[in-house]
Structure 1
Amino acid sequence: MSGTLALASTIAEMDRDTLRTLVARRRPQAAGTIADPIGLAAELLRADSIARAILPLERECLRALLIFAAHPGAVDSDTVGRLTALGLVGFEADAPAPLAEVTSAVTEALTAAGIDPAALTETDAAAAASGTSGADRAPGSHDTSTWYSPALTAVGQAAESLRVLALRPGKLNRNGTVAVASLRFLADATSIDVDSVSRIVTALGHAGLTSPRSDEQLLVVSASAADWLAHDNRDRWLALAAATLAAMPGALRTTLAASGGDLAAAASAIPHRFPLLPAAELTAATSFVAVAEQLGLTVGGVLSPPAERLLADDHTAAGELVARDTPEVAPGVYVQPDLSVVVPGPLDPADEAKLGAISRPEQIGVAATRRISEASLAEGLEQGITPDAARALFERISLTGIPQPLEYLLATRAERIGDLLVDEHDGDAGRTRITVSRPELAETLLVDRSLQHLQLTRPASTAEDAAAGTPIRLYSRLRADHVVSALTDARYQPTTAAALSGATRGAPGASSAYSLDTAAIPVVDVSPATGATPITDAHVALVERVYLAARAEPGTGEFTRRLELAMRDRSPVLVTAEARGQERTFRLLPVSVANGRLRATDQDAGVERTLPVNTITAVEPS
């Protein structure tokens, strides 16, 4: 009871902004049922609420709470103020007071974590040294000059991953994480190892370039992805880096300040500095270090020069360092007779997008290697890149011309456009129609065992079409996208009606009509939130109710809160009232306090009494 009253007294003295901050930090779960300081204090002193509040506290704050419980005057006022703002310190007899519930929770949590609470209250030299393992390193002793290599590699990996996700969104687990199967598919499609893909997907999420569609359990590219891809590699990296640093876990950010810029050392120091931090948050800090290393934010765990500038919010200086250390746009690519393409450096974003549409990556880095194949050209056609447009691209950017094998591949691909045309069909024959230009190809499709699940059918009327030399139509009851996937997997080269339409319009000038925004990244706008609301509407309403309730009876707050607590607990109290110079004490069960009057049941006399609140001189436990 005393703990609730002491905390209620603290809450009652808070102004709106302070009260709002407390509610935002503690997030009381029963927001809709809290109407006054007593109700909020009781909620904040629940065991689970206290546990949530103390888990992220630093070692010194936990130590201060234990010392304050035994010797309130031994803790400095600034520390007491911080703990009061968290709802962990009460107010009694015009002075800050410890809360027994908080002290008990801290003691139990430390013991469960294997820490002796008594030892913690003693001078803890190790705590003072916590997180400083990197501070002893002399400035410049760790070489971070190679940061640009992982940085440019990560940008290339991020761009490639975005293009794949745009064409095939990732699957999400029920807890919101990306499914392992999707990560493996993305790794295979981009020639990046699974662990690296996972870290890149994390960075894309931090930058808002991907968005979860929880209703469909899909990870899709966001509306801002096309804009990001339209920038050069320098601006892309700055955007990824700034967003990732902004997402640094709070415990890691706090510890980093004492680590001399050594992010890895800061992560290692977290378990000591934050002894009650949950395992999930420790894992998050470790994972962040791995993401930072892959992005070139750190080299060997130590912050790179541009990352230091970004953390200091000096984006101009960071941009200057990036411009100094990274290469300019490459003059072109080297196309080899084996259909591999060596990309010696960053390309113009539009050229990169077109090359990415018609080739697959084999190695992504400062210099990259890609490969062209019939399958990649078919995929490019689906995105609006015709063989003629591809030829025009290579004529312009290839420093080795167009080798004969590539010319042959482009020519044969152009001849076969429309051989297999797949589109949706609204009729009894099936959901999908496949228009085949050659009779022998149609016969092959009908007897191909790998396509049996499509249940292809050919109406009798198509025999006459074959005899007349007109295209043959086959039908399937599966959806068009399933049919296209099956044909592609069986090494046929289907074309959708939409792609053929675009190819017809684009030839021979398709290269000039190609649009980065429409062809390279067909984004799904899921309208992601641009910022999180500090507290919910229910919590805002709670703040207002508690604030007004605390000021409903000015000058009688302490007695009123004691009576309200007795009403909540349905417990009798000893109420002393003075009138006409005489004092009397009653053992009462409070019923209501309204309009300046207490209405209560006198359990000893068996009557109901009404007393003016301003005559009450004491309220004590019964």
Structure 2
Amino acid sequence: MTTTLALAARLRALPDDELVAALRHRSVRRSGISDFFDLAEALLDGESVQRALVALDRTRLATLIVLGRAGPLEVREVAVALDREPATAGATEQQAAAALDALSGLLLAHPADGDPEDADPADGRTPRYGTYDAVSARLIAWPDAGLPSPDELLRTAPPPALAPVPDTERRFTDRLAADRAFEAVVAVSELLAELGREGARELQRGGLALPAVKRLSEALAVDADAVPTVLSVASRAGLVAVEAGQWLPAEPAAAWLHASTPDRWRALAGAWLGALPDDLRALVADRSRAEWGDSLREHVGWLYPAAADEARARVDAHLRDAEWLGITAHGAPSGPGTVLVEEGPEASADALAPAFPAEVRQVYLQHDLTMISPGPLAPDLEARLRTMADLESRALASTFRFSPASVDRAITAGETAATIREFLSGISLTGLPQPLDYLITDVTERHGRVRVRTVDEGEARTAVRSSDTTLLRTIEVDQSLSSLRLTPARADVLHSRFPRDVVFWALSDARYPVVAEDENGEPVTLRRQRYAHPQTAPTRDQDRELVERLRAVDAAVTDDTAEQWLARQLDQAVRARQPVVVEVAMPDGSVVDLVLEPTGVGGGRLRGRDRSADIERTLPLSSVKAVRPL
């Protein structure tokens, strides 16, 4: 029997870090816990035990059942017992040891011989484990809650794995998966571009605001239902993050956008693989050449008998992203998907690279101010092209369009008419069309008609100046700029109480030909920082605080509190009718161990039956130096 007394003594002896780690995985009440006995009682409370058991897989549940029926057992004995049952047939000592280690860390299994690390197989000391009575009792009561009985847990064999996907089907799977992989890379690229232009609002309850979903759906050319998947994949890869309630690109996005298509996919697929829980990763590795879909869901439902629906939902989320990334197609792993789980992201990207369309560095410039790319543009070219043209349609042959606003945006970012012409002429297969050349000249001449600089005039912090008073009046009454609180100062000047950079980017977004100036009136190039830098708010570590508080109570030990600790131990033993080893100080100064079954504590005395001598003993509590579970 392993009861509260044994757990309380174990909690008291555990290192702080191990105890904190265990509490983080257990749901316990914290109110009313003043010592390790209270904590032990909270951990063995029926609801706390139930929440811990529900999350366990069948192997760990079977291990607890075996320990409850025949424990304490050595690792080898546990493996033998598991191997006899259909649910865990073929269990090895390594698997049994892993299960016992996990259960011990969750405070559901109890090292019967102290610290297992102290055991030494060379001298015959191998670790033995038992489980707590409350844990066994809860498992026995599972049928009353509509959950499998211990016998059902042990006797239900796992569903059979499916046969490997035939080579004839794999060819079609690989072709479809390659298309999806390319589309996934394109969608994430467009997501980063759109979020860089304008962030997407995250609701307090989670999920994107509906207007943001619609906007991103149009920009990415995907269904609205696919937007959360794209965002999930990009977030998992560290490419986007939430800052101040807005989804924005994260700093790694810049390097990702300049990488090749296979390298971009490798980052996305590697993040998917890295996010797989250990249990699911082992399952997909075992089925790396067989179908995952329904077979995987069925196996996960069997593996987590007390939380089958939640486990299937968790699997569905990972499988959804795998399907979208081209790791699978119609539920079967693609060739690169198989390589991904067997060899890793690098080898998988190498296997997929030949299926991607070749990148191009030459384009067709049209007289209608459009540019057609006959294939995926090289990342460095696309990144620069996006500063001066807007994407009109994305496919293997993408179309970009030049406009006064897009060219003005490039000049605002530091380009000049000469650098734009040089860049476009260098990549064009059709030269520089005359309409585009005129557009560049016209925008360059008009650029800077509106200038903003920092001022310090009363409440005004920024001045907006233009010799074109008609344009200035248009800016003043523009409703999209009403938040700037622009007020006339002179005929050619407006004032705002907002900083220069805020005013500049508001005017730029509204597509006015604006230039920022320094204090000397010289033009300066401003860089808009669109990267998210989320700051995690410090949170209280309640588990560590609890452990530190209990240690402080334990450290302030006096003769009275030491006697109270002994009394609590003995009281628990009386209530559980649990035999204990009592260390008793004898009159001659020696200390002897007596194995007693305590029957009562009171009046400063301990009464119990000495099992060795088969007599009743009454001992003064002042002579009892220590108590430990038998």
Q: What TM-score bracket applies, with the shorter chain setting the length?
A: 0.7 to 0.9
| 1:124 partner letter | T
User: For residues 69 and 430 of structure 2, what CA distance do their matches in structure 1 show?
Assistant: 80
Q: Deviations over 1:528-587 (max 9, x none)?
A: 99xxxxx979659959999xx9xx9xxxxxx99975445789989999869589999883
Matches within 5 A, 1:529-548: 539=544, 542=547
User: For residues 358 and 275 of structure 2, what CA distance do their matches in structure 1 show?
Assistant: 29
- Report how far residue 497 of structure 1 moved: 0.9
Contact 1:432 1:475 in 2 (8 A): yes
Matches within 5 A, 1:448-527: 456-459=486-489, 461-462=490-491, 472-476=492-496, 492-497=511-516, 523-525=531-533
Extract unaligned runs of 5+ from structure 2: 83-92, 115-127, 558-562, 607-617
Residue 145 of structure 1 corresponds to which residue in structure 2?
Answer: 174
Extract unaligned runs of 5+ from structure 1: 463-471, 507-517, 530-534, 553-558, 594-604
User: For residues 106 and 399 of structure 1, what CA distance do their matches in structure 2 show?
Assistant: 74
| 2:512 partner letter | Q
Does residue 301 of structure 2 align to residue 271 of structure 1? yes
Contact 2:507 2:514 in 1 (8 A): no
Does residue 236 of structure 2 align to residue 228 of structure 1? no
Secondary structure of the corresponding residue to residue 52 of structure 2: helix
User: For residues 501 and 593 of structure 2, what CA distance do their matches in structure 1 show?
Assistant: 91
- Report how far residue 190 of structure 1 moved: 4.2
Matches within 5 A, 1:397-416: 397-416=427-446
TM-score, normalised with respect to structure 1 = 0.72
Contact 2:605 2:621 in 1 (8 A): no
Per the alignment, do residues 285 and 381 of structure 1 end up closer, same or farther by CA in structure 2, a change over 3 Å counting? farther
Residue 297 of structure 1 corresponds to which residue in structure 2?
Answer: 327
Does residue 151 of structure 2 align to residue 123 of structure 1? no
- Report how far residue 330 of structure 1 moved: 0.7
Residue 320 of structure 1 corresponds to which residue in structure 2?
Answer: 350
**Aligned counterpart for 2:377 among listed residues 318, 325, 347:** 347
Residue 56 of structure 1 corresponds to which residue in structure 2?
Answer: 55
- Report how far residue 239 of structure 1 moved: 1.7
Residue 4 of structure 2 corresponds to which residue in structure 1?
Answer: 4
TM-score, normalised with respect to structure 2 = 0.71
CA RMSD in angstroms comes to 5.2
Q: Deviations over 1:318-347 (max 9, x none)?
A: 343244333443132233334333333333
Per the alignment, do residues 395 and 61 of structure 1 end up closer, same or farther by CA in structure 2, a change over 3 Å counting? same
Per the alignment, do residues 156 and 437 of structure 1 end up closer, same or farther by CA in structure 2, a change over 3 Å counting? farther
Contact 2:250 2:531 in 1 (8 A): yes
**Aligned counterpart for 2:201 among listed residues 171, 189, 197:** 171
Secondary structure of the corresponding residue to residue 203 of structure 1: helix
- Report how far residue 166 of structure 1 moved: 3.4
Does residue 135 of structure 2 align to residue 102 of structure 1? yes
Residue 368 of structure 1 corresponds to which residue in structure 2?
Answer: 398
| 2:49 partner letter | I
Secondary structure of the corresponding residue to residue 494 of structure 2: strand
User: For residues 593 and 51 of structure 2, what CA distance do their matches in structure 1 show?
Assistant: 49
| 2:107 partner letter | G
- Report how far residue 484 of structure 1 moved: 6.1
Per the alignment, do residues 291 and 381 of structure 1 end up closer, same or farther by CA in structure 2, a change over 3 Å counting? farther
Contact 1:454 1:478 in 2 (8 A): yes
Residue 267 of structure 2 corresponds to which residue in structure 1?
Answer: 239
User: For residues 325 and 494 of structure 1, what CA distance do their matches in structure 2 show?
Assistant: 44
Residue 467 of structure 1 corresponds to which residue in structure 2?
Answer: none
Secondary structure of the corresponding residue to residue 271 of structure 2: helix
| 2:152 partner letter | L
| 1:495 partner letter | V
Contact 2:392 2:400 in 1 (8 A): yes
Q: Deviations over 1:110-150 (max 9, x none)?
A: 655x444267246214xx116x34x4544663333223322
User: For residues 561 and 140 of structure 1, what CA distance do their matches in structure 2 show?
Assistant: 72
Secondary structure of the corresponding residue to residue 170 of structure 2: coil
**Aligned counterpart for 1:287 among listed residues 312, 317, 320:** 317
Residue 466 of structure 2 corresponds to which residue in structure 1?
Answer: 436
- Report how far residue 418 of structure 1 moved: 1.3
User: For residues 2 and 149 of structure 1, what CA distance do their matches in structure 2 show?
Assistant: 58
Secondary structure of the corresponding residue to residue 345 of structure 1: coil
User: For residues 465 and 593 of structure 2, what CA distance do their matches in structure 1 show?
Assistant: 105
Residue 611 of structure 1 corresponds to which residue in structure 2?
Answer: 623
User: For residues 505 and 476 of structure 1, what CA distance do their matches in structure 2 show?
Assistant: 19
RCO higher in 1 or 2 (8 Å CA, sep ≥ 6)?
A: 1
Per the alignment, do residues 223 and 444 of structure 1 end up closer, same or farther by CA in structure 2, a change over 3 Å counting? closer
Contact 1:190 1:360 in 2 (8 A): no
Secondary structure of the corresponding residue to residue 184 of structure 2: helix
Secondary structure of the corresponding residue to residue 87 of structure 1: coil
| 2:467 partner letter | S
Contact 1:211 1:528 in 2 (8 A): no
Q: Deviations over 1:35-91 (max 9, x none)?
A: 76x566434323454244223322344355446545658843725565445432346
Contact 1:432 1:476 in 2 (8 A): yes
Per the alignment, do residues 277 and 437 of structure 1 end up closer, same or farther by CA in structure 2, a change over 3 Å counting? farther
